[in-house]
Structure 1
């Protein structure tokens, strides 16, 4: 497509966009008496306007039903997690039996690793990307120690080649093959939070399985951003948060995927909790954990209604928009952002996110070689909300459910002005 660096072009693209109407379903922070240019959905999604009524409904049911709300509320609380797992199926390419929402991301990662990381003297190593989000690094480090192994020898990190910012797929696959006798688990972020690189999940999964290892993924920056096919790709497990692209609210409930070949196996090792117990026996209050034959068999405690309600409301918008249409728009808006950034002069930065649309989502990471923090502050002062990540990246993320081509163009106008006055 031929892009044009003009407001008229951006307006025309927005008028042609069938998803542009969804913008009106979100609240934007106010800066200088008008909507902020919010390009930070990769960190925290905006609040959908239907959230308030959704919370009030649960408050009303709590007020009027009390404990009977578990079966008599408008949305009976006994099944609340399923109101979220059902629409997530289309987004993540999984059956409802393979999905559940529960806890938070790192808690779920620990629970999954207790099931899928069962090292022995021969197979004890974990392969992950260098520069993974710190929480993942901490989880893997402490799990390895928990099992009595030394992180220095048990954790293998794949790094970019010298002088490069991205990790090459062939390097990942080569290490998996090389370590095939000692590898217990391959654990990658679906998208690296810093560079925005989307990894080849099916290729990594297939290589892990060929080596005799499990394959798991942290989809914090993937869920609601890029449609995936977790079941068909035979991923063993995945975890994610819902406060980024899924707009579930700060600290919102996390989610987990367990492939049906594991989820349906009641003998597959896991920690038990009464919400993961077989429903027909749950209220008998008897000894003996009998897990559900699905991902919900990993649940621990009662569904966190007020920590799920905002996600439930947001997912109604995802269902109406369709993840395929959102992905198509995301590619268009992100490509336009890249085009505009290439028109800039007088400012020293490099886009380190892959150029190939199939290797990135709705994020471009701008590596500033100098004055990065100063430029970020000037963006903030001008009404732009993006985030800074040490040691030198400003991440810019046009979320397709509520961002527009005009948002991207106004961002470009402001940063061009900053460049001209640098």
Structure 2
């Protein structure tokens, strides 16, 4: 597995050349510095070590650091401490001049850069030190997850985030929906606290993608002279529906908040393939007393529809017992589930398996000397089933 690139908190660059800019991202606002401003401020890491914008946005919440030896972590903290002491000393010495610098005309490039560097360097050093200190003192990747990128009340779990995260508090706000991006089939996290607001949703439903319909059979060549046509071939069985995304949460200690629906719908099966056309009957034999032209073959039966997708498999382990919060995984009729009634501070794991796919249409009868029979429509696929649900005591690593 390839590790993500180093992602210093709040910093990324817009290119490689001296014309590039550095963005200082504080979460609630951004500041753009030129390459020379960043260089003159003696920031760490060096400009060449900063991630580019796309990598920063992709991995900004993943605490991955550059050094492999634990001693290097502590050396890095010592370096951050010294930088903080120096910045605080600058603050004491230069504080009286801050307001004068602010009042200068911002056309004065050097003065503007001086203010930017002075204010941002101290904050970055403090954040850098605190982040590294927290990282060394806890095994959690996140204090709170998700902590950003909510779009219109929805957070999409990226494939890079779907596995091997250690989350101190998994929090879904009131009315918010946490759901996997397309391509995510499994979520596997260690979670200490599961918190949620009123009417929140963890939507594990399979992505809304229709299964591909099987292709048609090619027509058979006509039967030999004087022979009846063969029946068409039966259509191909439809593809099964996609199951709901499976969920594993390990080491849960606390659950609480408003009301959370963990939605587990599977998708419907795909339609069956069309039955093959019957073979055309043979023409009259071209000889004295030859057999007459024959009838064409019956059309092939349509393929059976694909089976519906299963609901999500759920596996939740608890530090304090086998199932101290008495969670259940419930299944309703095949189709699409609606939000169930949920009491205060409770979770309902509830979803619908996918319906079976429709049967394929029958094939056309083969041409021949008499009227022939088209193929039958295929049978529907079986509805999906309930995914497994396991609630157990977490025994630790």
TM-score surpassing 0.5? no
Name the TM tier (shorter chain): under 0.3
Give the TM-score normalised by the residue count of structure 1: 0.22
Greater relative contact order (Cα 8 A, min sep 6): structure 1 or 2? 1
The structure with the largest alpha-carbon Rg is 2
Higher share of residues assigned helix: 1
- Normalising by structure 2, we get a TM-score of 0.23
